[in-house]
Amino acid sequence: MKILANDGISKSGIALLEKNGFSVIVMKVAQNQLEKFINEEQIVGLLVRSATRVSQDLIEACPSLKLIGRGGVGMDNIDVEFAIDRGLHVINTPKVSSNSVAELVFAHLFGMARFLPASNREMPLEGDTRFNELKKAFSQGIELRGKTLGIIGFGSIGQEVAKIAMGLGMHVIATDTEIKKAIIELTFFNHQKISFTIETQPLETLLTTADFITLHIPAQENYTLTENEFNKMKNGVGIVNTARGGVLNEVDLINAIENGKVQFAGLDVFESEPTPEIQILMNAEVSLSPHIGGATLEAQERIGIALATQIIHLLKN
């Protein structure tokens, strides 16, 4: 049985699949060539990340497909309901990259709180001639300890964010449309564990309370954060979005940055991805990364093993 990993899979995942009799093809087939390739090679399993779209038309045109796998959490690039109706298995790895995304949230927060993106731009150009001026300009940073972090979406990623925040000594407030409370367990280097229960709060409470806000919700039909929500926030709030482009209104965000309501933003995802708007890319108060939230070496290993394990269970055993 042939598995096409169109957006890649870890070596450990390949090894596990091959050990169990699967043939793994790791190559990037262009979207417009995918149907032809799947049919010619009689692919039974298609593995994707966010770069490949698995539409109803593609599923319908490829009768050999028995399984579609998504390395990661979001399934918005797959016609899941249609695939299931056609009898296909649809799998993903909802928890294995949670820590990777959570750490990127704090990479953006730490960087912007201490002006690191601006400092890294200016130091190579003028560090040797304006050192003291730059020192003065970038000495107005803030600490995260003692501040309140608002988490919109309290699933596996949001809870991992909460763990890091609590470890830093931050206050945490979370909101979620379905989760009412969650037990957060902190595990330390010496294997000691401490558990905390966090009850979610209304979005309105979070907006007016948080010093920093981070989003961890799936793609939405409508914006979750618009001018209306920004106006309710504290002055000087920091925003991070590692969830999906379109959960916040980027035009309203830039306006909020320019009028001083939002001090900075960290964006890993964009409304017009993969061609983010120039107003976003050129704004000095926006920390940028190209949708790499779950893309660490450790997460890719975990994703590969998790996908392979599910494929073996569903298609072989």
Element housing 184 (H / E): strand 181-187
Instruction: Using DSSP bridges, classify how beta strands 181-187 and 43-48 pair: parallel, antiparallel or unpaired.
Output: unpaired
CA distance 228 to 214: 17
> Which structure tokens are listed for 72?
């990661």
CA distance 114 to 168: 16
18 catalytic residue (yes or no): no
41 catalytic residue (yes or no): no
> Which structure tokens are listed for 135?
């020192």
Q: Of 70, 216, 291, 302, which residue is the catalytic one?
A: 291
Q: Of 35, 122, 227, 273, which residue is the catalytic one?
A: 273
- State the CB neighbour count (10 A cutoff) for residue 295: 20
| CB environment 89-98: b (16+ within 10 A), e (fewer) | bbbbbbebbb
Instruction: Using DSSP bridges, classify how beta strands 193-199 and 181-187 pair: parallel, antiparallel or unpaired.
Output: antiparallel
Which residues have a Cβ under 8 Å from the Cβ of 32 and sit 6 or more positions away? none
- State the CB neighbour count (10 A cutoff) for residue 203: 17
Which residues have a Cβ under 8 Å from the Cβ of 148 and sit 6 or more positions away? 170, 171, 172, 173, 209, 210, 211, 212
Q: Of 216, 244, 250, 302, which residue is the catalytic one?
A: 244
Residues 213/152, Cβ–Cβ less than 8 Å? yes
291 catalytic residue (yes or no): yes
Q: Which residues are catalytic?
A: 244, 273, 291
